[in-house]
Amino acid sequence: MIRMAHEVFISYSHQDQAAAERVCAYLEEKGLSCWIAPRDIFGGEDFGEAISGAIQSCRVVVLIFSSASAASRQIGRELKLADDNDKTVLPVRIENVPAIGNFGYYLGGAQFLEAVDGLTEGHLQRLSGTLENYLRQVPAPLPPTKAAKKETALPRAEKINWLRSRRFYAGLALVALVSVATALYVRLGFPSAGRSAALPTPVNVRAKVNPDDGQRYISIAPGSFRMGCSDSDAYCFPNERPAHSVSIARTYWIQQTEVSVGVYRKFAHHTGAPMPAVPRFEQRDDHPVVNVSWNEAYTYCRWAGGRLPSEAEWEYAARAGSIGPRYGDLDAIAWYGKNSKGSTHAAGTKSANAWGLYDMLGNVWEWCNDWYSEDFYSKSPSGDPNGPAVGAERVVRGAAWDSYVWGARASSRSKAPPESRAIVVGFRCVRDVMP
């Protein structure tokens, strides 16, 4: 089932549910589409993921503000996510309490709708009118077309801007023609339907197509790096410390992109494995596959002649020589909570790292082979570490389309049970030897 985006997200504390539901019902009577928990959470859906996706896909957040919501950590997280995604917040104050601390920070510039003496029909009308005015805003009109040539004379400055815009659209047309030509070339050069797109690879990097799954892999040479919290990173958590030197002794090959829906379908066709559940958002064949457990990812990689990467191999490949928290500007390299609009995106649409690897940060978290341990770094060997010998949860790395800024970092670590599936988790494989 694909969830439709809503115009308004209703944020409220459990104690204020009656007021929130009244606001929601009134707005929907006026034709505004609202998202409210628990009504709009699917059966079996993760609560946090549902909230995150709804905020990212809405246009406005309406906050029912009271002493209960001001004390709620969950409401604070919702406001943080709204702020990260540049969402407008319209607070409705139903109790005479100040917005202080983090609430003061997030709501400092907001105009409150004051309803401290009781939420009346007049308050609801005012809120509805404010929302309708906001949502009625439309983008600036496009430049005049050739058919509209009888317009009155434009001032010189406007004519210049119009001419520039025509050049802009001509440039877009040229880019489109080049893209079509490139696509035809790729299709002729790589006729096998299961093979990966010919994404750019740095000229000094070795790349080969894996004959077992038809995907492009990048050769990662042996070397050493600093694993864990970067010196300049203000967001590090205890499980990323201490930073420590790690040596990778052998060359390995890692998939240039995360395993896609189309490639996983090829695997399912050949092996009889089931396709994973379809997420609530639209996924094309070139999007990374999600809802795949560690066990299923492990099986796929074995079929592809390889394995899942160790946590150290993953971070070494992600950093590609970078010593900072990220290998580039976050918006340029990753689909994450602020720019993803609540879904995965096709591989290769963000910039690669120095070794030609795409989406090492963002899009989906990636399963690693290692068992997870909170304090493993304090006792990790320096040479080719492979994690603890036993555990209850496996490591996932790299953040996803719904992640906060502090999650999308090269050293960020998380975990999940190996049998679990999530709409934010996928994987990529490595091979020790490439034919």
Q: How far is CA 290 from the centre of its chain?
A: 12
* Euclidean distance between CA atoms 169 and 210, whole angstroms: 39
pTM higher than 0.75, yes or no? Answer: no
Please state at what angle helix 47-57 crosses helix 73-84, rounded to 10 degrees. 40
Taken in order 318, 323, 324, 330, the sign of the CA dihedral is negative
- Following CA atoms 395, 237, 375, 334 in sequence, which dihedral angle do they give, to the nearest 10 degrees? 20
Q: CB of 94 within 8 A of CB of 19? A: yes
pLDDT at 261: 97
Residue type, 93: R
* Euclidean distance between CA atoms 416 and 242, whole angstroms: 22
pLDDT at 198: 62
Q: CB of 343 within 8 A of CB of 366? A: no
Strand order in the sheet with 216-220: 207-209, 216-220, 252-255, 430-431
Q: What fold characterizes domain 207-431?
A: paralog of FGE (formylglycine-generating enzyme) (3.90.1580)
pLDDT at 132: 83
The ranges of the chain with pLDDT < 70 are 1-5, 43, 109, 136-198, 203
Q: How many CB atoms lie within 10 A of CB 116?
A: 13
pLDDT at 33: 85
CATH of domain 8-135: 3.40.50.10140
Q: How many helices (H) and strands (E) does the chain have?
A: 11, 15
Give the three-class secondary structure for 257.
coil
The 3-class SS string of 380-421 reads CCCECCCCCCCCCCEEEECCCCCCCHHHCCCCCEEEECCCCC
> For the chain, first and last CA: distance in Å?
41
pLDDT at 5: 62
355 Cβ neighbours under 8 A, 6+ residues apart: 202, 205, 218, 220, 317, 320, 321
Q: CB of 300 within 8 A of CB of 429? A: yes
Chain position carrying tokens 């042996």: 222
